[in-house]
Structure 1
Amino acid sequence: MLSRRTPQKHVPLLIWLSDDYQKRYAVNRGCLNKLAATDDFSQDNLFSTMLGLTGTATHEYVPADDILTSCRSQP
């Protein structure tokens, strides 16, 4: 059990994308599975990933922080 003074450093993240979303936005499921198994992400990735998922255009978006960037096919 964690005490109030023990910071949580490992918090799980679940990203679920429908088959339609994956097709529509050219997201490679195999690539995502590989990333999930081999890479570590932090809360720093969450903001840009959410912006990328929703297609929000803003100067705050950092593609390098978007978890899905490397798994999207280029048009």
Structure 2
Amino acid sequence: MRGEPWREKRRLKERQQWDRSERVCRTEVSAAKVLQETCNYIKNLHREVDDLSDRLSELLANTDSNSAQAAIIRSLLM
């Protein structure tokens, strides 16, 4: 009977360590997911910026270079 409280304490300690490890693992998975989503979002933003830049460049190429519209487009590209 004397060994039983000691075993219970050991089991409790092992369970606490397991719970702590599980929380750390979930946190790491969660952080990795957030990082991946952030990277995807940034890639999409880069794609959108590239597309807009291309569209503005085409518009500028087809606009009188001395017009007010051309000046606005140039300011957007800078």
TM-score, normalised to structure 1's length? 0.20
Bigger RCO (CA 8 Å, 6+ sep): 1
Q: Compare CA radii of gyration and give the structure with the larger one.
A: 2
By percentage of residues, which structure has more helix?
Answer: 2
